[in-house]
C-alpha cells in the first residue's frame, strides 16, 4: 500500500499521534536528566557544606618511638606524594593536588598536661606545614629554635610556641610565660607570640580547631572542666618533637573538591574509600605505629544515599506512572488510527491482501508518525542539563516499539479473517473461570503486598543495614494496587449501572434507559480508557498529596528549629537598654524574655539544659504556629524531659539552689532542645534573670536586630524554611511532583477526548437510528452524556481513592523526612482541591465532548451514516 497516501488521508490522526509521542519522549528522556542533575548538585552542596574534617581524607601516624619520629619537612612531603599516588581512580578527581587548597601536614601532641594542675589544664605542642600562610602574628614574634633548661635535675627541651588571643584570655596565660608540661617526661613551652588566623572561616581550620579555640571538657564524675589548647611551634621545634615519651600524631590532610562529584559515583566512592584505607594500612612498617585513614566521608555518603534512595523511589513511582499513562494514551491514539483505516484495510484484505501486508501497513504508518516524533523528543531532551541515564535512551525506544507493536498486533487480530463483522454492543462475553481466578489472585496479592510493606517496612531498614539500596517490593506494591483497582473497576463497573438501568426502565423517558444501557454494555470499549485514567488520576493525586505533605511538614520543621518567628540568642547577658531597643524596633510586635544555661542536677556531676521563660507569653507568641507548648503555672513548677521524669522533686543548681516540682513531661522544646536532659521553668524563679534569649513576633529585619544586639545570633522561621526548601533534592522532588501532576492531568484529559473520538462513529450511527424515530437534538445530547459520564465518574472516584490511599498504603516505605528538615512526613491530610479539580475537569471535558459530538453529528446526512437496509 502507499503509506504516504494513507498518511495524507489520515493527517489529523497522524498529527495527534506525533504530538503525543513527542511530548511523551521529551518527558521520559528529559525529566530523568533534570533529576540526576539535581542529585549531583545536592551531593556537591552536601560535600561543600560539611566541615573539612568530615569530608577530607586524613592519613594519620601515631609515633611511639624515636624510630617512628619524623624530624624534617621532606619526610612529610615524600609521604604526601605517596598517598596521592595510592589514591583509587574513583577518588583522584575529587582530591586536590598536593600543596594546593587546604592540603597540609601536621604534627601534634595530645593530652599533654601542664605540670602541677592535676590534669585540669593541657597545653599541647603542634606544627603546621603552612602556618606561615595561615596566620598573622599580632603580638610578640613567630616561634624560633627550641632551647633547653634544667628541671628537677634533668635537662628538658623548651619549645618556643605561639597561641591565640582566646587561649591567652581563657587560660590566664601571658606573653613571655614559660609552662612546664608532662607528668614524668617533662618539657617546657615558652609563649613568644600571639596569632590570629588569616581566615577563620576557611575549611582548613576545621582540622585544627584545637589550635584556634580552647576546648572545655567535663570528665565523668568531676565537677570542674578541663581546658585544652594546642600551640604552634616552628620547623625547628618539629625536629625536637618525639613520640617516645608523649602522645604524638602525624597527619596528612587531603581535601576534597566537591565540584566533580556525581551522585552516580557514590557507591564507587564508598568502595574506593574502604580500599584506600586498606592500602594505607599496608604501608606501615611497624605494628606499634600503623598508618590509618581518618574521614567522616563514608557516613556523609551513607546519609546522602539514604536521602537519595527515597527521592529515587518517589521519582520512580511517579515517573513510572507517567510512562504507563503516556504509553496508554499513545495506544489510544494508535487505536483511533487503526479504526480510521479499518475500512481501507478490510477492503485490501477482501481483495486478497495477506495478513502480513495488512498488519505491516498499519505498523509502517504508525512508525511514520511516531519515529520522527520520538527522535525529536529525544533530541530536545539534550537541552535539559544533566547526564544521560539509560532510561533517557531506552524510553523513546520503548515508546516507538509499543506504538508500532500495538498497531501491528491490533490489525492482525482484527483482520484474521476477511470481511469481519463485530457486534460488541449486543452482549458482554462471560469471563472464564481461569480469568476470574487470575484477577482475584492479583487483587489478593496487591492487598497482601500493601499489608506486608506496612508491617515489615523497607528491606534493609534494620540496624546496620544498607539503607541506600532500592527495595523492589516498594516499587511493585503501588503497581499491583493500581492494577488491582483497575481490574475491580472493570469487573464491577457494569453492575451499578444495570441497577440504574432497571430503575430507568420503570420510567416513561427513553433517554435515561438507552444512555445507561449503552454505558453498561460498553465494557470492552471502556477497558483501555479506564486503564489509562485510573493510574493517571491515582498517581497525580498521590503526587499532589505527597507534595502537600512535604510542604506542611517543612513549615512544621522550620518552626520546631527556631521556636518563634524570630529568635535572638547571645552567649552573654543582653542588657536591658538593648532589650528596650528591640521592643521599639520596626516590625516587632511582641518580645518574650528567656534565659538558658547548663545547670547542675542535684549535687553530683549530672548536668541538664534549662530554659527559664514565661510559657504563657510564649504560647501567645505561637498562637498561629503549627507548634504549641503545654501550660506551665508559676511558682516552682517545671516541665521536664523524658530522661528526668519520675524523680519527684527536682533540685538544680543555677543562680541559686532551686527545688522544682515537675508538672508535665515534654519531649522537646521548639527551637532549643530535642533530646537529652532538659527542664523548662518559669522566668519568675530567678531572683534576677540574666536574659540571654529573646523570642520575637513580627516581621522585623534580622540585620537591624543584629545591629541592636551585636553579641547575639539571629534566627528566623522564614530563613529556616527557605533553607529547607532550597535544598536541591527537596526542590527536585517538589518540582517533579508538580510537573508529573500537570502532565498526568493533561494525559487524562487527552484520554477522555480520544475515547470520545474512538466511539464517535458507533455513537453517531446509534443516534442516527434514534433520530429516525424522532429523537431530538437535546435528547441526543443527554443520551451521549449518559453514555460517557458514568465511566468517567466511576474511574475518577476510584483513581481519587487510590491516590489518597497510596501514602497510607506505602506507610514506612517512603521516608520523606530528608526533604522536610529531618521531621517525619506523616501528615498526609487530603487536600481535595487538586483532586476535585482533576475530576471536575475530566467530567467537564466528557460533557463538552458529548455536546461537540452532537453538534458535529447535526451536519451529517442520515444517508451518509446508515447503510441501505439498516432501516428495513
Average confidence (pLDDT) over 241-252: 88
Calpha distance 754→748 (Å, rounded): 10
Q: Is the pLDDT of residue 640 over 80?
A: yes
Number of compact structural domains in the chain: 4
Calpha distance 555→725 (Å, rounded): 10
User: 733 and 752, same structural domain?
Assistant: yes
Q: How does residue 503 score in pLDDT terms, banded at 50, 70 and 90?
A: confident
Q: Find the helix or strand (DSSP H, E) in which 330 lies.
A: helix 297-350
Residue 307 lies in a domain: no
Calpha distance 809→348 (Å, rounded): 52
Calpha distance 13→341 (Å, rounded): 11
Residue 175 lies in a domain: yes
Residue 215: helix, strand or coil by DSSP?
strand
User: 837 and 858, same structural domain?
Assistant: yes
Which of 23, 25, 22 has the alpha carbon at shortest distance from 392?
25
Residue 831 lies in a domain: yes
Residue 565 lies in a domain: no
Residue with cell 532550597: 726
User: 139 and 16, same structural domain?
Assistant: no
Q: Is the pLDDT of residue 76 over 50?
A: yes
Residue 815: helix, strand or coil by DSSP?
coil
Q: Is the pLDDT of residue 857 over 70?
A: no
User: 591 and 553, same structural domain?
Assistant: no
Q: Find the helix or strand (DSSP H, E) in which 187 lies.
A: strand 187-197
Choosing from 392, 422, 452, the residue where a domain stops is: 422
User: 792 and 683, same structural domain?
Assistant: no
Orientation angle between helical segments 472-492 and 777-810, nearest 10 degrees:
150
pLDDT tens across 448-469, in order?
A: 887 777 676 555 444 334 444 4
Close Cβ partners of 228 (under 8 Å, ≥ 6 residues apart): 111, 122, 124, 210, 214, 215, 216, 217
Q: Which three cell numbers stand for residue 164?
A: 591565640
User: 499 and 368, same structural domain?
Assistant: no
User: 841 and 761, same structural domain?
Assistant: yes
pLDDT tens across 701-726, in order?
A: 988 998 898 888 999 999 999 888 88
pLDDT of residue 696: 92
pLDDT of residue 474: 64
User: 214 and 103, same structural domain?
Assistant: yes
Number of helices (H) and strands (E) in the chain: give both, helices first.
26, 21
Q: Which three cell numbers stand for residue 631?
A: 501550660
Q: Is the dihedral of CA 555, 559, 565, 571 positive or negative?
A: negative
DSSP state of 72: S
pLDDT tens across 532-543, in order?
A: 778 888 877 887
pLDDT of residue 541: 80
pLDDT of residue 856: 62
Q: Which three cell numbers stand for residue 380?
A: 530536545
Average confidence (pLDDT) over 491-512: 78
User: 268 and 154, same structural domain?
Assistant: yes
Residue 311 lies in a domain: no
- Give the residue numbers spanning the domain of 668: 572-710
Residue 328 lies in a domain: yes
Average confidence (pLDDT) over 109-134: 90
pLDDT of residue 350: 77
Calpha distance 25→379 (Å, rounded): 9
Average confidence (pLDDT) over 651-673: 88
Q: Is the pLDDT of residue 419 over 60?
A: no
DSSP 490-553: HHHTHHHHHHHHHHHHTSS-HHHHHHHHHHHH-HHHHHHHHHHHHHHHHHHHHHHHHHHHHHHH
Calpha distance 132→193 (Å, rounded): 13
Give the residue, 640 or 498, on which the prediction is more confident: 640
Is the separation of the CB atoms in 743 and 322 below 8 Å?
Answer: yes
Give the residue, 425 or 201, on which the prediction is more confident: 201
Q: How does residue 527 score in pLDDT terms, banded at 50, 70 and 90?
A: low
Is the separation of the CB atoms in 373 and 22 below 8 Å?
Answer: yes
pLDDT of residue 482: 83
User: 532 and 485, same structural domain?
Assistant: yes
Choose the weakest-confidence range: 197-206, 420-429, 480-489: 420-429
pLDDT of residue 232: 94
Is the separation of the CB atoms in 692 and 573 below 8 Å?
Answer: yes
Close Cβ partners of 852 (under 8 Å, ≥ 6 residues apart): none
pLDDT of residue 747: 83
Give the residue, 214 or 351, on which the prediction is more confident: 214
Residue 663: helix, strand or coil by DSSP?
strand
pLDDT of residue 228: 93
Choose the weakest-confidence range: 272-276, 294-298, 400-404, 752-756: 752-756
Residue 657: helix, strand or coil by DSSP?
strand
pLDDT tens across 343-400, in order?
A: 788 888 777 778 888 888 889 999 999 999 999 999 999 998 888 888 889 889 999 9
What pTM value is reported for the model?
0.76
Q: Is the pLDDT of residue 819 over 80?
A: no
Residue 304 lies in a domain: no
Choosing from 294, 327, 350, the residue where a domain stops is: 294
pLDDT tens across 80-115, in order?
A: 999 999 999 999 999 999 888 889 999 999 989 999
Average confidence (pLDDT) over 198-208: 90
User: 381 and 281, same structural domain?
Assistant: no
User: 94 and 144, same structural domain?
Assistant: yes
Residue 716 lies in a domain: no
**Length in residues, the chain:** 872
β-strand pairing of 247-254 with 650-653: unpaired
Amino acid at each position: 500500500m502507499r503509506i504516504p497516501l494513507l498518511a495524507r488521508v489520515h493527517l489529523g490522526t497522524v498529527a495527534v499521534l506525533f504530538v503525543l509521542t513527542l511530548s511523551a519522549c521529551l518527558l521520559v528522556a528529559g525529566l530523568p536528566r533534570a533529576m540526576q542533575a539535581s542529585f549531583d548538585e545536592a551531593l556537591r552542596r552536601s560535600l561543600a557544606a560539611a566541615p573539612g574534617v568530615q569530608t577530607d581524607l586524613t592519613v594519620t601516624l601515631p609515633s611511639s618511638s624515636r624510630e617512628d619520629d619524623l624530624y624534617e619537612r621532606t619526610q612529610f612531603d615524600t609521604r604526601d606524594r605517596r598517598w596521592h599516588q595510592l589514591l583509587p581512580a574513583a577518588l583522584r578527581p575529587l582530591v586536590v593536588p598536593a600543596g594546593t587548597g587546604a592540603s597540609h601536614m601536621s604534627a601534634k601532641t595530645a593530652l599533654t598536661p601542664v605540670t602541677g594542675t592535676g590534669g585540669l589544664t593541657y597545653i599541647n605542642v603542634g606544627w603546621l606545614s603552612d602556618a606561615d600562610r595561615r596566620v598573622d602574628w599580632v603580638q610578640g614574634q613567630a616561634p624560633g629554635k627550641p632551647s633547653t633548661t634544667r628541671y628537677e635535675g634533668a635537662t628538658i627541651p623548651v619549645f618556643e610556641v605561639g597561641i591565640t588571643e582566646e587561649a591567652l584570655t581563657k587560660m590566664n596565660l601571658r606573653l613571655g610565660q614559660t609552662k612546664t608540661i608532662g607528668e614524668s617526661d617533662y618539657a617546657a613551652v615558652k609563649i613568644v607570640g600571639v596569632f590570629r588566623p588569616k581566615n577563620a572561616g576557611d575549611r582548613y581550620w576545621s582540622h585544627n580547631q584545637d589550635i584556634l579555640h580552647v576546648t572545655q571538657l567535663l570528665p565523668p564524675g568531676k565537677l570542674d572542666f578541663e581546658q585544652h589548647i594546642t600551640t604552634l611551634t616552628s620547623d625547628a621545634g618539629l625536629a625536637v618533637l618525639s613520640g617516645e615519651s608523649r602522645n604524638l600524631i602525624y597527619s596528612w590532610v587531603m581535601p576534597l573538591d566537591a565540584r566533580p562529584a556525581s551522585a552516580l559515583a557514590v557507591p564507587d566512592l564508598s568502595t574506593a574509600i574502604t580500599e584506600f584505607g586498606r592500602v594505607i594500612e599496608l604501608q606501615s612498617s611497624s605494628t606499634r605505629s600503623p598508618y590509618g585513614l581518618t574521614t567522616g566521608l563514608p557516613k556523609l555518603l551513607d546519609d546522602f544515599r539514604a536521602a537519595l534512595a527515597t527521592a529515587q523511589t518517589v521519582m520512580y513511582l511517579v515517573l513510572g506512572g507517567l510512562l504507563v499513562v503516556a504509553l496508554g494514551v499513545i495506544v489510544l491514539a494508535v487505536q483511533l488510527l487503526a479504526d480510521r483505516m479499518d475500512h481501507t484495510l478490510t477492503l485490501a484484505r477482501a481483495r486478497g491482501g495477506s495478513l502480513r501486508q495488512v498488519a505491516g501497513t498499519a505498523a509502517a504508518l504508525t512508525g511514520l508518525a511516531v519515529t520522527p516524533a520520538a527522535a525529536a523528543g529525544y533530541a530536545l531532551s539534550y537541552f535539559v542539563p544533566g547526564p544521560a541515564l539509560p532510561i533517557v535512551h531506552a524510553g523513546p525506544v520503548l515508546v516507538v516499539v509499543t506504538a508500532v507493536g500495538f498497531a501491528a498486533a491490533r490489525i492482525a487480530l482484527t483482520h484474521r479473517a476477511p470481511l469481519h463483522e463485530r457486534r460488541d454492543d449486543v452482549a458482554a462475553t462471560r469471563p472464564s473461570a481461569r480469568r476470574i481466578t487470575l484477577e482475584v489472585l492479583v487483587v489478593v496479592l496487591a492487598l497482601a503486598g500493601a499489608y506486608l510493606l506496612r508491617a515489615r517496612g523497607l528491606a534493609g531498614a534494620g540496624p546496620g543495614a544498607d539503607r541506600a539500596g532500592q527495595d523492589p517490593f516498594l516499587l511493585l506494591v503501588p503497581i499491583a494496587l493500581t492494577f488491582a483497582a483497575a481490574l475491580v473497576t472493570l469487573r464491577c463497573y457494569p453492575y451499578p449501572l444495570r441497577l440504574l438501568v432497571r430503575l430507568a426502565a420503570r420510567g416513561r423517558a427513553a433517554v435515561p434507559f438507552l444512555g445507561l444501557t449503552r454505558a453498561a454494555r460498553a465494557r470492552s470499549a471502556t477497558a483501555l480508557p479506564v486503564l489509562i485514567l485510573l493510574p493517571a488520576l491515582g498517581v497525580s493525586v498521590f503526587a499532589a498529596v505527597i507534595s502537600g505533605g512535604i510542604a506542611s511538614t517543612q513549615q512544621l520543621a522550620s518552626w520546631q528549629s527556631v521556636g518563634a518567628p524570630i529568635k535572638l540568642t547571645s552567649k552573654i547577658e543582653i542588657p536591658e537598654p538593648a532589650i528596650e531597643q528591640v521592643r521599639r524596633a520596626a516590625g516587632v510586635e511582641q518580645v518574650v524574655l528567656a534565659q538558658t544555661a547548663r545547670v547542675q542536677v542535684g549535687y553530683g556531676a549530672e548536668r541538664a539544659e534549662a530554659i527559664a521563660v514565661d510559657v504563657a507569653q510564649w504560647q501567645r507568641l505561637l498562637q498561629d504556629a503549627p507548634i504549641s507548648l503545654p501550660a506551665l503555672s508559676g511558682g516552682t513548677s517545671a516541665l521536664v524531659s523524658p530522661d528526668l521524669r519520675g524523680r519527684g522533686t527536682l533540685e538544680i543548681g543555677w543562680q541559686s539552689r532551686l527545688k522544682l516540682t515537675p508538672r508535665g513531661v515534654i519531649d522537646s522544646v521548639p527551637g532549643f532542645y530535642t533530646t537529652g536532659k532538659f527542664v523548662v521553668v518559669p522566668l519568675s524563679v530567678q531572683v534576677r534573670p540574666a536574659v540571654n534569649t529573646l523570642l520575637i513576633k513580627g516581621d522585623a529585619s534580622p540585620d537591624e536586630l543584629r545591629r541592636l544586639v551585636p553579641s547575639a545570633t539571629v534566627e528566623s522561621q522564614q530563613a529556616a524554611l527557605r533553607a529547607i526548601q532550597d535544598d536541591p533534592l527537596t526542590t527536585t522532588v517538589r518540582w517533579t511532583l508538580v510537573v508529573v501532576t500537570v502532565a498526568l492531568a493533561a494525559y487524562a484529559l487527552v484520554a477522555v477526548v480520544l475515547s470520545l473520538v474512538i466511539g464517535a462513529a458507533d455513537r453517531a450511527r446509534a443516534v442516527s437510528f434514534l433520530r429516525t424515530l424522532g429523537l431530538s437534538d437535546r435528547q441526543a445530547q443527554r443520551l451521549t452524556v449518559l453514555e460517557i459520564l458514568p465511566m468517567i465518574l466511576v474511574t475518577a472516584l476510584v483513581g481519587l481513592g487510590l491516590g489518597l490511599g497510596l501514602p497510607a498504603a506505602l506507610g514506612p516505605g517512603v521516608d520523606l523526612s530528608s526533604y522536610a528538615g529531618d521531621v517525619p512526613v506523616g501528615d498526609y491530610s487530603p487536600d481535595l482541591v487538586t483532586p476535585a479539580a482533576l475530576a471536575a475537569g475530566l467530567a467537564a471535558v466528557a460533557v463538552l465532548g458529548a455536546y461537540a459530538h452532537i453538534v458535529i453529528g447535526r451536519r451529517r446526512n442520515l444517508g451518509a451514516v446508515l447503510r441501505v437496509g439498516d432501516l428495513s
